[in-house]
Amino acid sequence: MRKDQTLGEYLQSQGVSRRGFLKFCSATASLMALPPSAVAQVAEALATARRPSVIWLSFQECTGCTESLTRSHAPTVESLIFDAISLDYHHTLQAASGHGAEAAREAAMEENEGEYILVVDGSIPVGNKAYSTIAGISNYDMLVEAASKAFAIVAVGTCAAFGGIPHANPNPTGAVSVSDIVTGKPIINVSGCPPIPVVITGVLAHFLTFGTIPELDAQGRPAAFFGQNIHDRCYRRPFYERGQFAETFDDEGARKGWCLYKLGCKGPTTYNACATLKWNAGTSFPIQSGHGCIGCSEPNFWDKGSFYNPISAGMWGSRDALLGAAAAGAALGVGSAIAARARKKKAQAAEEA
Amino acid sequence: MTLLEFASGPGLQWALWIFVFGVVWRLIGALFLLARKDLSKPRRHNSVAAGLGAIWSRSTPAHAFEKRILFQHVTGYAWHFALFISVLFFAPHILFFESVLGFGWPHLPNTIVMVTAIIATAVLITLLIRRATHPVQRFISNADDYISIVVVLIPLVTGILAFAHVGGRYETLLALHLLSVEVMLIWFPFGKLMHAIMTMPARYQAGTAFGRRGVKA
Amino acid sequence: MSDLDAIPVSAEVTTGNVEPLLHEIRHALKRLAGGEDGTVIDLQRLPLAPGEEQRIEAVLGEGEVRAEINALGPTLVQETAYPGVWLITHRNAEESVIARFIEVTDMPELLKSQRADIESGINKLESELADSTKKN
Ligand code: SF4
């Protein structure tokens, strides 16, 4: 796709019919969690949309987010979206490497200054910036520079959005999130470990279509995908209401598909679209497969106690500490009783004298 | 640290420590009061029967006052019963007790617990209003009474809101519920809520003491 | 256990979302019959338990029209047993489902020939004719 072409022109030049284009728009609207009535609007916007430049930086990460993205379940639509954007730099997916690749990044940044979208996956170590570098440039420096010239930043994955696993206790590298470093630019957090692939493309599609920042929730996540918690959309919810819980992973309740609350499901405190969009081409999602939600799209999910602890169990400390408090209370009780008696005896003695 | 992380972590820890510390302190103090020798000659020897008798007689309205205190009596039982069901038989609560005590027990369906929780809240609000408006009740109430009612009322209300997902995001409501329970736990040993532990032993003790003197309790 | 199917997992789970959906369809049909606009429902936006989508399909049944569109992969347009209610399944070139809608309408927009396509068709036909006259 040439840069001066609109998406409509591009698709036409690829031999995509108007029907194909409308189908693409319906799927894209569905992808963006827009109501079907918005398809006409999407079609109009997409027909005249110009390709945004995207620079994708991978920092302290496991590549799981990119893996998730490349396994997203709508390859035709997604590849069209990727054709439609100009992915100018992604060091995992691009063929170029070394100085050539870095030069391409610099060039794209210059050429699209103030207009490109910066996608970041992975956290940024600030304990010692040398913990993670690309072509000799620390993640921190690269982020600060790339962010300063970007139109907006998409933090893909819980690491980029909230620090994620690198940030978990004891955080040896001093890992922080994008929003801990970058200020003054819109940041869209697409959290999840990894995020649902269609959510990543949905956000890119939103840029492509409308050229604007989608509505965000309190944590900076697109409200269309993160507006509701898993528990509210979970198909096992009726069992929760009836108080039918699986007690172990292989009991009668587990086989009957009962609620996983007792097995540590974090659905009630987790905001994501897994319960509706699902994973693996809409096949299933963790709860449907019999495992509770681990809350991977929430900040500090790794440090909130065991994945198998029920939410309501709380982290109340240890029994020993409670016994200690009891012992201290007993000591004080005995002490004050003895003191009271001593006072009384003294008073009696004084009276008798 | 988010509000929920504080409420389910350090907040809960401190509240439990203070609760256990305070309860044990007051209990030991009270037990020492019993250790005094009674030098008088007992009129009646079966003190266990006298103690149990007092528990019974004080849990039922005295005949002479039956009509006058009927409302108090019925609402009192309704409140305590509904509260016990809501606190002790809600599945997430049992999971909490299980994590602290090491054992659990069967739960009731959420809908039943919701009904009892709403009954408990309604009765408690009625009683609070009555206490504040009834001239005699007002006269015999002090700050402790009002504080004790309010610190129990708030966990009930926040619990219902959290369960029904109304008035805020679930984590926020859950955090508020936990925090309000923590306030209640901290207040418990030092105010009239301590009656939950003291009432029955105190009745028993009064019964035995009276029985020894041959007085009907 | 090697064979996952050997683990008995029953799925008589319901979200209670199927009935309301059917009522929504009924209301949409009434509006359509009354001369108002059609309605589109995105099936991927509904929390459904395993098996519930099949239940919806079974309840809606199959009607008289069944059409396949080949554009960016196959799309199946199926009129259900209730005239005016269409089930549209978009698939990509790899045949996996990318979107599913229930459309309550006289005729899904996608079935009509599109103005832009008609125009490019005219161009194509004209150049074809021009070619053949040249050859003769
Ligand atoms: S399985 Fe999890 S998300 Fe689903 S109802 Fe139970 S607690 Fe809620």
The alpha-carbon gap from C46 to the nearest alpha carbon of chain A, in Å, equals: 6
CB A177 within 8 A of CB A155: yes
List the beta bridge partners of residue A175: A125
Strands A152-156 and A187-190, bridge-based pairing: parallel
CA distance B188 to B155: 13
CA distance C61 to A315: 52
Query: What residue ranges define each of the domains in chain A, with the CATH number in brackets?
Result: 7-226 (3.40.50.700), 230-340 (4.10.480.10)
List the beta bridge partners of residue A53: A86
pLDDT (average), residues A233-252: 89
Name all chains with 3 or more CB-CB pairs below 8 Å to chain B.
Answer: A
Interface test with A, best of C17, C24, C45 (most A CBs within 10 A): C45
Interface of A with B in 90-109 (CB under 8 A): none
Closest CA to A225 of A243, A205, A208: A205
CA distance A308 to A296: 14
Residue C18 has pLDDT above 80, yes or no: yes
| pLDDT recorded at residue A180 | 95
- The answer to whether the CB atoms of B29 and A337 lie below 8 A apart is yes
pLDDT for C59-107, tens place per residue? 999 999 999 999 888 899 999 999 999 999 988 777 778 888 999 999 9
C53 φ, ψ to 5°? -65, -40
pTM, entire model: 0.79
Q: Is A183 left (phi over 0), alpha (psi -120 to 50) or beta?
A: beta
The alpha-carbon gap from A224 to the nearest alpha carbon of chain B, in Å, equals: 16
Residue A64 has pLDDT above 60, yes or no: yes
A263 versus A77: the higher-pLDDT residue is: A263
Tokens representing C1? 């256990």
A265 φ, ψ to 5°? -55, 130
Ligand 1 atom with the smallest distance to the CA of A245 is 6
Using a CB–CB cutoff of 8 Å, tell me whether A234 touches chain C.
Answer: yes
**Residue reference for tokens 């497969």:** A289
Which among C69, C72, C75 is the nearest to A16, CB-wise? Answer: C72
Tokens representing B182? 């923590």
What is the count of residue pairs from A and B with beta carbons less than 8 Å apart? 117
Name all chains with 3 or more CB-CB pairs below 8 Å to chain C.
Answer: A
CA distance B120 to C73: 60
How many angstroms separate the alpha carbon of residue B183 from the centre of ligand 1?
29
In chain B, what are the domain boundaries?
3-24+69-198
CA distance C22 to A302: 41
CB B172 within 8 A of CB B3: yes
| pLDDT recorded at residue B212 | 81
Percent of residues, chain C, with pLDDT higher than 70? 90
Closest CA to A302 of A144, A150, A193: A193
C121 versus A47: the higher-pLDDT residue is: C121
Percent of residues, chain B, with pLDDT higher than 70? 99
CA distance A122 to A178: 9
Residue C1 has pLDDT above 50, yes or no: no
| pLDDT recorded at residue C93 | 76
CB C86 within 8 A of CB C79: yes
Query: Of the given ranges (A130-139, A200-209, A240-249, C60-69), which has the lowest mean pLDDT?
Result: A200-209
Closest CA to A74 of A27, A29, A39, A38: A27
Question: Pocket of ligand 1, candidates A228, A229, A232, A234: which has the most ligand atoms within 8 Å of its Cβ, to mutate?
Answer: A234
| pLDDT recorded at residue A163 | 94
Percent of residues, chain C, with pLDDT higher than 90? 40
List the beta bridge partners of residue C78: C66, C87
Cβ-Cβ contacts under 8 Å, C16 against chain A: 238
Which among B32, B92, B165 is the nearest to A232, CB-wise? Answer: B165
| pLDDT recorded at residue B183 | 96
Ligand 1 atom with the smallest distance to the CA of A229 is 3
CA distance C108 to C112: 8
Tokens representing A40? 């006409």
Torsion angle defined by CA atoms of residues A85, A90, A95 and A101, in that order, rounded to the nearest 10 degrees: 110
pLDDT (average), residues A145-157: 93
For residue A15, count other CB atoms closer than 10 A to its CB.
8
Q: In chain B, whose CA is at the least distance from the CA of A265?
A: B92
CB A292 within 8 A of CB A264: yes
Look over chain B and give the mean of its residue pLDDT values, rounded to a whole number: 88
ipTM of the complex: 0.81
C66 φ, ψ to 5°? -145, 115
Helix (H) or strand (E) holding B69: none
Q: How confident is the model at residue C109 (pLDDT cuts 50, 70, 90)?
A: confident
pLDDT for B105-157, tens place per residue? 999 988 899 999 999 999 999 999 999 999 988 899 999 999 999 999 999 99
Cβ-Cβ contacts under 8 Å, C73 against chain A: 76
A242 versus A173: the higher-pLDDT residue is: A173
The alpha-carbon gap from C64 to the nearest alpha carbon of chain A, in Å, equals: 22
How many angstroms separate the alpha carbon of residue A233 from the centre of ligand 1?
9
The alpha-carbon gap from A3 to the nearest alpha carbon of chain C, in Å, equals: 23
Q: Angle, nearest 10°, between helix axes B170-187 and B10-34?
A: 20
Question: Pocket of ligand 1, candidates A285, A293, A312: which has the most ligand atoms within 8 Å of its Cβ, to mutate?
Answer: A293
Q: How far are the Cα atoms of A187, A194, B58, C2 from residue B73, in angstroms, in the given order?
A: 60, 58, 11, 64
| pLDDT recorded at residue A86 | 67
Closest CA to C102 of C34, C17, C12: C17
DSSP-derived 3-state class of residue C79: strand
pLDDT (average), residues A164-190: 94
Name all chains with 3 or more CB-CB pairs below 8 Å to chain A.
Answer: B, C
| pLDDT recorded at residue A1 | 47
CATH among 3.40.50.2300, 3.40.1210.10, 3.10.20.600, 1.20.950.20 for B3-24+69-198: 1.20.950.20
CA distance C61 to C81: 5
List the beta bridge partners of residue C101: C42, C88
CB B51 within 8 A of CB B96: no
| Secondary structure of chain A as H, E, C letters | CCCCCEHHHHHHHCCCCHHHHHHHHHHHHHHCCCCHHHHHHHHHHHHHCECCEEEEEECECCCHHHHHHHCCCCHHHHHHHHHHCEEEEECCCCCCCHHHHHHHHHHHHHHCCCCCEEEEECEEECCCHHHCEECCEEHHHHHHHHHHCCCEEEEEHHHHHHCHHHHCCCCCCCEECHHHHCCCCCEEEECCCCCCHHHHHHHHHHHHHHCCCCCECCCCCEHHHHCCEHHHHCCCHHHHHHCCECCCCCCHHHHCCCECHHHCCCHHHCECCHHHHCECCCCECCCCCCCCCCCCCCCCHHHCCCCCCCHHHCCCCCHHHHHHHHHHHHHHHHHHHHHHHHHHHHHHHHHHC
Residue C10 has pLDDT above 70, yes or no: no
B3 φ, ψ to 5°? -60, -45
CA distance A231 to C116: 45
Query: What residue ranges define each of the domains in chain C, with the CATH number in brackets?
Result: 18-110 (3.30.1370.140)
Q: In chain A, whose CA is at the least distance from the CA of C115?
A: A18
Using a CB–CB cutoff of 8 Å, tell me whether C5 touches chain A.
Answer: no
| pLDDT recorded at residue A2 | 53
Residue B18 has pLDDT above 90, yes or no: yes
